[in-house]
């Protein structure tokens, strides 16, 4: 009966969160024909800057839209127009915007020049507020000529981690990149003396976009004809903003049930999180006019290897997603934040180290380091990294992969690590190494096991449905099994190989963990006294009546090299 009550409580809890997030943006996100959306975040608001989709001679102004939550949008009319930009006469297209030193710079194309004899190209507006009004910054185009065959349109401005600004631009199936100078009045030559470097990937037509994720540079572009049904978005990944960019595949294309002409996108990354959205335009199936384009938004997600999953067009759009009112997403422990990057990709701020026999923050042999955007745990000594803060009621996402090296006393045994949840008490209280805790195990063939790393009392315990395993004392999570409470020991994930052997490279018959060298994702939901473990998207273990329900988070070093590229927490 107690287990039935727990299941009922958990079901009601899920319904509560579902109701909380039931409000949707809908697609389109605002009324009117708008295309080529540039989406970004300024302070506590999302912003979209689109093209007014109309015949060229009517494209003489731009509107902007802002929202606190992706659902409720406010229109800001005529933020820039040809009255302010005297040289622009028509076809004001595809804005791109950045904030620098308290000023907002709006890049745009105008006049649709067809050759170097025409007047027009890429210009810049400047304003003190994201909603403008914008005035002409240069009094002339920044780029007014064809270079490497690229029509000067569809610019995207990208700030790299070294604070260098790059401009990607180009139509007519050619794409250039250039380095902007510090005040955006011109360009800095590359080392070879060139100003405009061509980086055109296979299939490129127009609409370039770039962003960084986990140290990789993602380059997106549109293919096909913008008035046709085959308009689509493709992408590449590189180690540098200069490429090379080898086409990986299509991530957005027409859907015969919903819309066609889907393309010219931008992306939103909710600051301090790994939440991503694609903002794009598409044409309703009922419309034949090429200018009948509307701005839409849908979720954009990645597989454990970092590839972009195909974006699914919807009519519902996305859930309400408020931003922090303070506009602060530093990735540190701000208790007002709902989404936190516990690992910032650069260092171990917010964590401390503990090694058996050496204690706190004494790591002379560098068991724990950060390299190339990853936490690298060598495994040479037993120990852990521990968060400074305690957490409760959260979703924790960790992405990891095994390295090649293993060390005594586990040199020939299964690669081993773990995530310790609800860690409380003294450092090293368990075996001189860990805090007492509830472990989400990471071990070859057994990732997803739950281990009670307690003191033998019910101060550290969990209850679940289990069935006995082949080996003595082994229990597997099974929703149809008997109810058992554990104060010590392990609850194996539901499909763990009954003949599991503690040897390096072990692969179970039904493993959901990927092999050595491939990225895996663990998601731990700690909701009240419930704990659910997902591995690569599959529910593998669940316990309830967990004690304690709050504590620090630790990641172990336990004889095997392991790389961690993401540690994100969402408060529930």
The answer to whether the bond into 295 is cis (omega within 30° of 0) is no
What is the C-alpha radius of gyration for the chain, rounded to an integer number of angstroms? 27
Please check whether residue 27 is in contact with residue 297, taking contact to mean a CB–CB distance below 8 angstroms: yes
Q: What's the maximum distance between 2 C-alpha atoms anywhere in the chain?
A: 84
Residue 17 CA to residue 432 CA, distance in Å, equals 40
Pair 533, 521: CB distance under 8 Å: no
Contact 241, 255 (CB under 8 A): no
Alpha-carbon gap, residue 67 to 258, rounded angstroms: 25
Q: Is the dihedral of CA 176, 186, 146, 59 positive or negative?
A: positive
Contacts of 16 (CB under 8 A, 6+ apart): none
Q: How many helices and strands (H and E) does the chain possess? A: 1, 39
Residues in the chain: 572
| CB-based contact 408:536 (threshold 8 Å) | no
124 close to 152: Cβ distance less than 8 angstroms: no
Cβ atoms 199, 242 nearer than 8 A: yes
206 is catalytic: yes
Q: Is 20 exposed, middle or buried (CB count within 10 Å of its CB: 0-12, 13-18, 19+)?
A: exposed
**Where are the extended beta strands (E) located within 132-173?**
135-136, 156-159, 165-169
Burial 359-387 (b: 16+ CB within 10 A, else e): eeeebeeebbebeebbbbbbbbbbbbbbb
Cα 213 to Cα 22: distance, rounded to the nearest angstrom: 28
Q: Would you call the peptide bond into 538 cis, given omega within 30 degrees of 0 as the criterion? A: no
CB atoms within 10 A of CB 322: 14
Q: Which of 63, 206, 511, 513 is catalytic?
A: 206
Q: Is the Cβ–Cβ distance between 355 and 383 less than 8 Å?
A: yes
Residues with a catalytic annotation lie at 36, 206
């Amino acid at each position: 009966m107690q287990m039935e009550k727990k299941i009922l409580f958990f079901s009601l809890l899920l319904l509560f969160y579902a109701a909380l997030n039931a409000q949707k943006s809908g697609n389109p996100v605002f009324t009117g024909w708008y295309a080529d959306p540039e989406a970004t975040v300024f302070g506590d608001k999302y912003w979209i800057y689109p093209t007014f989709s109309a015949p060229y001679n009517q494209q003489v102004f731009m509107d902007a839209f802002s929202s606190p939550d992706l659902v409720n949008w406010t229109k800001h009319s005529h933020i820039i127009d040809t009255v302010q930009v005297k040289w622009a006469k028509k076809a004001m297209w595809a804005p791109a915007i950045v904030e620098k030193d308290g000023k907002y710079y709006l890049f745009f194309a105008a006049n649709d020049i067809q050759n170097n004899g025409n007047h027009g190209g890429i210009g810049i507006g400047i304003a003190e507020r994201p909603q403008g009004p914008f005035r002409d910054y240069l009094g002339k185009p920044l780029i007014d000529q064809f270079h490497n065959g690229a029509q000067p349109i569809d610019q995207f401005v990208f700030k790299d981690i070294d604070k260098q600004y790059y401009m990607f631009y180009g139509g007519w199936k050619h794409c250039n990149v250039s380095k902007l100078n510090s005040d955006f009045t011109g360009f800095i030559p590359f080392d070879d003396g060139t100003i405009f470097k061509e980086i055109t990937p296979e299939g490129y037509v127009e609409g370039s976009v770039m962003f960084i994720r986990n140290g990789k540079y993602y380059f997106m572009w549109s293919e096909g004809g913008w008035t046709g049904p085959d308009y689509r978005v493709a992408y590449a990944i590189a180690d540098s903003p200069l490429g090379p960019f080898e086409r990986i595949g299509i991530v957005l294309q027409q859907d015969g049930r919903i819309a066609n002409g889907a393309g010219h996108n931008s992306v939103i990354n909710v600051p301090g999180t790994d939440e991503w959205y694609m903002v794009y335009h598409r044409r309703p199936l009922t419309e034949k006019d090429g200018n009948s384009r509307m701005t839409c938004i849908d979720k954009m997600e990645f597989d454990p290897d970092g590839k972009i999953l195909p974006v699914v067009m919807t009519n519902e759009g996305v859930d309400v997603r408020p931003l922090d009112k303070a506009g602060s997403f530093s990735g540190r422990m701000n208790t007002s934040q709902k989404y936190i990057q516990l690992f910032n990709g650069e260092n171990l701020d917010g964590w401390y180290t503990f090694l058996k026999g050496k204690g706190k923050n004494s790591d002379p042999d560098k068991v724990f380091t950060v390299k190339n955007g990853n936490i690298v745990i060598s495994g040479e000594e037993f120990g852990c990294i521990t968060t400074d803060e305690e957490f409760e009621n959260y979703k924790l996402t960790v992405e990891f992969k095994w390295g090649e090296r293993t060390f005594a006393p586990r040199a020939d045994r299964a690669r081993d690590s773990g995530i310790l949840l609800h860690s409380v008490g003294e450092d090293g209280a368990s075996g001189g190494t860990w805090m007492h805790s509830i472990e989400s195990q990471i071990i070859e063939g057994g990732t997803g096991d739950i281990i009670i790393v307690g003191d033998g009392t019910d101060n550290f315990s969990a209850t679940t449905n289990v069935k006995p395993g082949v080996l003595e004392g082994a229990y597997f999570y099974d929703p149809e099994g008997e109810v058992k409470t554990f104060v010590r020991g392990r609850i194996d994930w539901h499909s763990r190989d009954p003949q599991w052997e503690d040897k390096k490279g072990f692969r179970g018959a039904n493993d959901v963990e990927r092999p050595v060298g491939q990225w895996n994702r663990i998601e731990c939901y700690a909701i009240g006294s419930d704990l659910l473990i997902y591995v690569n998207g599959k529910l593998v273990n669940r316990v309830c009546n967990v004690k304690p329900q709050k504590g620090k988070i630790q990641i172990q070093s336990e004889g095997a090299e392991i790389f961690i590229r993401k540690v994100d927490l969402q408060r529930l």
